[in-house]
Amino acid sequence: MLTGVGHLQNHGYVTILRRSSDEQSILLAPDVLINLAASYMSRAQSNEKGLGSLEEARALRNEYRFPEVENLGEDERDTLLNAVTELFLDRNICFRESVDNQTFLIFPSLILERPPQLLEEKELVEDMTYVVTGPVENVYPALVVLLGYSPTFQRTNQWRKQAQYETARRDICGFKQANDDSTELELVLYYRKNTPDFVRSRFQGLFEEILYARNVTFRRYPPIFCPRCGRQQERRTVMKRSQEGRTFLFCDEDAAKISLPPATGRIALSPESRAGVTRDQVLSKLRTSYETALVSVKSFVRDRKDTALPTCFVSYAWGNTADERWVSRLADDLRNAAVDVVLDQLHNPAIGANIARFISRIAKSDYILVVGTPVYLQKYENEQSPEGSVLAAEVDLMGVRLLGTEQQKASILPVLLEGTQHNSLPPLLQGKVRADFTREEFYFITLFDLVLTILHIPFDDPIVRDLRDKLRDEAQALV
């Protein structure tokens, strides 16, 4: 029967929906889901700040009063709202972003805010231009989302028709949509001037990998510079001459004759860069699967009628830029999963004077998550330093919980980011590691289990069992 229904779905007669359990529902009027998706987009587009977003919790509670589900029962309404949210996340049409413990669904193609003045043209240089044709409707949002899902490039800003990313080395990469044609996209890569070639190559390679996966065709136009004065030629002029079949143009500055290169094929990457792009692409896909799975997890929590978000204090060793970026990323992911995160920022001198106030926040937190690294253990052992005294005080409070009830013991969540438990965690926490983040390819698997632990969802519950298996299967592509 399910095979027959699957054939009907392939031809657009019905839609199969997963409910908030291991059951499936059959939607006999697929247009309802399509119309609901259109209402989502319409409501996001009317965001009063031009941010192209919806508050996820309000959307899933139907506080936006979507007409397609207004007259349905609670179960049917929840099923459809979950389904359309999963659809947008799975197709990379939107992404989650948490601000002040509120999680938003951001639709990049609907953002109306323009780039701020701090982006001075003199700091950035345009690079390759792509003219994309075919089914281009969702290409721009997919690029914004998937590039930001890559662990190499962290999305820092997105504006109307423009998205910007940053690497761990603070290199800036970005792209913008330079036209308003609904049938053809003109996309331009840009970088900060001092961005190394290997970073540009990897960003461009991942950009093209995403385009190739979208079943579109594209033409590439490289930047052209005058060999005499070094001036970069106007992008429109280069494209126009190339499309006319011209083999040269004249410099706008000194009229020097400049040869135009022949049409170029796909970028040739070094084996190292190619491996990096493939890895980023698979991790981006894993992120998509994780974000989609989170819809079901949040539905489970809503069904329990939980009235407050669980709070989680994160204890880590500051001072290492890479570790701080990782902790910030983990905190964002936990907030997007409906966890109220408290980050230890006592390294700030202006705040560090009031140690007691910050330590008191540990006692009030439902969970204490310890990010174990060799630097963490070193600072803990150096109790004479300001950082060491704070970490020692934090660990002392953890010790009190570990001597308490089983529930209090379970509230301590030591995780490994680097090293082993013996060289990364205080003796009190060794042997109690709850999650291992030392391998990037298993980040989302480990994160998902950590979220389930904090939200009190058993791993063998039908709603998450298959989701965990799917994440593990996809992660095998990286092993």
> 204-240: per-residue pLDDT in tens?
999 999 998 888 889 899 898 998 888 888 888 888 8
List C-alpha distances in Å: 26 to 1, 4, 11, 81: 12, 12, 14, 15
| Residue whose C-alpha is closest to residue 142's, from 101, 89, 221, 97 | 89
Q: Report the pLDDT value the prediction gives residue 330, as an integer from 0 to 100.
A: 95
Question: Mean pLDDT lowest for which of 75-79, 367-371, 417-421?
Answer: 75-79
Q: Report the pLDDT value the prediction gives residue 45, as an integer from 0 to 100.
A: 92
Q: Report the pLDDT value the prediction gives residue 149, as an integer from 0 to 100.
A: 94
Tell whether the model's pLDDT for residue 308 goes beyond 80. Answer: yes
Mean pLDDT of 460-468: 88
Average pLDDT, rounded, for the chain: 88
Strand partners, 55: 104
List C-alpha distances in Å: 217 to 132, 206, 266, 446: 6, 16, 11, 37
Tell whether the model's pLDDT for residue 180 goes beyond 60. Answer: yes
Considering the domain delimited by 2-110, tell me its CATH architecture.
Orthogonal Bundle (1.10)
CB-CB contact of 165 with 190 (8 Å) = no
Share of the chain above pLDDT 90, in %: 53
Q: Report the pLDDT value the prediction gives residue 263, as an integer from 0 to 100.
A: 65
More confident residue, 263 or 349: 263
Domain 121-272 coded CATH 3.40.50.20: no
| Residue whose C-alpha is closest to residue 239's, from 257, 229, 256, 224 | 224
Mean pLDDT of 133-137: 91
User: Whole-angstrom Cα distance, residue 201 to residue 268?
Assistant: 9
Q: Report the pLDDT value the prediction gives residue 392, as an integer from 0 to 100.
A: 85
Question: Mean pLDDT lowest for which of 77-81, 312-316, 347-351, 425-429?
Answer: 347-351
Tell whether the model's pLDDT for residue 118 goes beyond 70. Answer: no
Tell whether the model's pLDDT for residue 479 goes beyond 80. Answer: no
pLDDT of 282-293, one tens digit each? 899 999 999 999
CA dihedral 196, 200, 203, 208 (to 10 degrees): -160
Tell whether the model's pLDDT for residue 114 goes beyond 70. Answer: yes
Tell whether the model's pLDDT for residue 351 goes beyond 50. Answer: no
* Options 3.50.50.60, 3.90.1570.10, 3.30.465.10, 3.40.50.10140; CATH of 297-478: 3.40.50.10140
User: Whole-angstrom Cα distance, residue 291 to residue 331?
Assistant: 15
Task: Encode 311-327: b = buried (16+ Cβ within 10 Å), e = exposed.
Answer: bbbbbbbbeeeebeebb
Q: Report the pLDDT value the prediction gives residue 357, as an integer from 0 to 100.
A: 66
Residue 350, classified by CB atoms within 10 Å of its CB into exposed (0-12), middle (13-18) or buried (19+), is: exposed
pLDDT of 138-149, one tens digit each? 999 999 999 999
Mean pLDDT of 375-390: 83
The amino acid at 157: N
List C-alpha distances in Å: 227 to 206, 214, 234, 366: 30, 37, 15, 64
Q: Report the pLDDT value the prediction gives residue 117, as an integer from 0 to 100.
A: 63
Mean pLDDT of 189-206: 94
Domain ranges in the chain are: 2-110, 121-272, 297-478
Q: Report the pLDDT value the prediction gives residue 286, as an integer from 0 to 100.
A: 93
Q: State the pLDDT confidence band at 300, using cuts at 50, 70 and 90.
A: confident
2-110 matches 297-478 in fold: no
Q: State the pLDDT confidence band at 264, using cuts at 50, 70 and 90.
A: low
